[in-house]
Amino acid sequence: MVGRYELSDASWQMVEDTVSLPQPMGRPRRDDRQMLNGIFWILCSGAKWRDLPERYGPWKTVYDRFRLWRDDGTFEAVLERLQFRLREDGLMDLDTWMVDATSIRATRAASGGGKKGDRKNL
């Protein structure tokens, strides 16, 4: 049984080769699946990193792995793979992935009008 916010075996198999690259030398790192599950727990629960349950390992290690994967493009590679898989299966319509300015409200400051209460722009 998979816990809340944790990857199932099938889900892990889809992203394993993108997230868990071979490490030819050096000290063995913590389990990548455990790290990814810890990242999901934080992102989905909204908790602080220091409140990460011990079953995911030290919070600092999970946070460092999150930053590494964010900065080196690992998360973008996973997203691309999952989007490709959804397109192959016919489950994703590319028109639904577009965002345009008609659906997002801009603030007055975004159009050069200044912030509310700003005396300079009256």
Q: What is the pLDDT of residues 45-77, one digit of tens each?
A: 999 999 999 999 999 999 999 999 999 999 999
Structure-block tokens of residue 24: 């030819």
Structure-block tokens of residue 19: 């997230």
Task: Give, as one character, the DSSP assignment of residue 95.
Answer: G
Report domain extents, the chain.
Answer: 9-17+29-93
Task: Give, as one character, the DSSP assignment of residue 68.
Answer: H
Taking the C-alpha atoms of residue 106 and residue 114, their distance in angstroms, rounded to an integer, is 12
Does residue 86 register a pLDDT over 70? yes
Query: Has this prediction a pTM greater than 0.85?
Result: no
